[in-house]
Amino acid sequence: MKRILFDSDLLGDDLLALYAMVHDKNEIVGVTAYGRRTNSLERCRIAQVFLEDLGAAGIPLVPGADSPILQPALPGCTFCDDEMQALRKRWNADKLYGNRIVEDMHAAQFLIETSRKMPGLSLLCTGPLTNIALAILLDPEFPNRLEEIVLMGGVHGCRGNSSAVAEANIYNDPEAAKIVFEHCRNILVVPLDVTLKVVINDALASRCDEQFIRDVSLACCHAHVCKGSGSIMPLHDLLAYLALSDSTYVSYKQCAIQIETGWGAARGMMILGSPTESNAHRICFGVDSERVLERFEHMFARGR
């Protein structure tokens, strides 16, 4: 069991990761949100309904940035946004949810204050890194109070999903990613290269027990059909959580990581180099796909 701070854009497979954290009885000390077309407050409301369905309680949900540090916000995935609206429509301000939305504090400040009160937390990031970068700019000691940082993002050995060389979470805010990699140490990076090795198809998605998990998984499969890659769903964010919970799911090597922030075709590119004393991280290059899929079925498709 871990004590986890979860920073996420809370759409699609981010919620699968949140489900898995609850399923494994981790102590989730807070969920901070990044927004785009659907803003961070609305995403917190979606997560509030989702957690209510899971029977989870006592998890603060904190809205954060709705745009990158420098560039205009990118729109994000319409398939995920549309699917989340089924949960959003069920949100009711008069209902007593077991998980409070903290509207009087920005996510970055929440991250700082929580790390001060509870040093040694695990930080899991499955969205753009804007909230984390803002926390570092406000308090450079913030990452030093964390036990570990695991993030899903970047690409180094295959084509990106936002440009030829860039993965979406990094591409959405390269300046934020640059700050995070320069100021944090020993991040475990779960890149697109590796998450694309662990996919479910629509047949397995249809077997998920929970209606919402089933709908989200099938919507993601449909999105990939529209992109021409078959009716599949890579387990991007769930794999990042599993790597946090048990690093033997993945294999990794140590390297320096830089992020290209120029405004040309290489923007958002992750550049790997030899590790140095001031820049050493771990990047995954392999995964035990069979074990991950077995874990998925155990958590999500037990009774169907």
For 280, residues 6+ apart whose C-beta sits below 8 A from its C-beta are 185, 186, 254, 255, 256
Tens digit of each residue's pLDDT, the chain (304 residues): 899 999 999 988 899 999 999 999 999 999 999 998 889 999 999 999 999 988 999 999 999 999 999 988 877 666 666 667 777 788 888 888 999 999 999 999 999 999 999 999 999 999 999 999 999 999 999 999 999 999 999 999 899 999 999 999 999 999 999 999 999 999 999 999 999 999 998 888 889 888 878 888 888 887 777 767 778 889 999 999 999 999 999 999 999 999 999 999 999 999 999 999 889 999 999 999 999 999 999 998 865 4
- Which domains does the chain carry? 3-300 (3.90.245.10)
Distance of CA 286 to the CA centre of its chain: 19
At residue 76, the pLDDT reads 67
206: alpha, beta or left, given left = phi > 0 and alpha = psi -120 to 50? Answer: alpha
At residue 303, the pLDDT reads 57
Q: Determine how many CB atoms are found less than 10 A away from the CB of residue 246.
A: 12
Task: Please tell me the distance from the alpha carbon of residue 21 to that of residue 82, in angstroms, as a whole number.
Answer: 24
- Residue in this structure with the two tokens 């929440």, named with its chain if needed: 110
Residue 160's nearest CA partner among 244, 66, 259 is 259
Is the pTM here over 0.85, yes or no? yes
Where does the chain have alpha helices with state H?
13-23, 40-54, 78-88, 107-117, 130-138, 168-171, 174-183, 192-195, 202-205, 211-226, 236-245, 289-300
Token pair recorded at residue 9: 């854009």
Task: Please tell me the distance from the alpha carbon of residue 20 to that of residue 186, in angstroms, as a whole number.
Answer: 24
User: In angstroms, what is the C-alpha Rg of the chain?
Assistant: 18
27 - beta bridge partners? 3
Q: DSSP assignment, residue 74? A: P
